[in-house]
Amino acid sequence: ALGDSAGTGWQTAATHILHTAVPVAAALNWLLFTTPGQLRQSQAPGWLLYPLAYLAFSLARGELLPPGTQAHYLYPFLDVDQHGYKGVLGNALLIGLALYAVAALLVALDHIRPTLLRGHR
């Protein structure tokens, strides 16, 4: 789980790459190498399909692992044993709404951002 302080050097590096380097690289790629104004608000709901699939995977994984398995659920806010399905689905809804708000903000920023590299319009 993300919050675990114990782990190997490789696990720590992988966590930092996944949760820090990849988002920064994606933002820089968007900012530097894409033409401004191409994103549309109608695309934003589709961007939620991956988090929804990840939620389904995480819940299925937690159900299929034997009881007592360490890191039964990948994140503490998805822990059905601790929060119940109602609590976990409430957490997922709040996160989904936050992700949709970020998507809407990204579309708005895409339409006002300047072109940073030559050769792009």
Chain segment 23-49, per-residue pLDDT in tens: 999 999 988 888 999 999 999 999 999
Which one-letter amino acid corresponds to residue 27?
A: A
Confidence of residue 79 (pLDDT cuts 50, 70, 90): very high
Polymer length of the chain: 121
Rounded to 5°, the CA angle 107-50-81 comes to 125
| pLDDT of 96 over the 80 cut | yes
- Residue 106's identity, in one-letter code, is L
The two three-digit tokens of residue 60, written as one number: 């299925």
36, two tokens: 């401004």
Q: Which residue has the tokens 């993300």?
A: 2
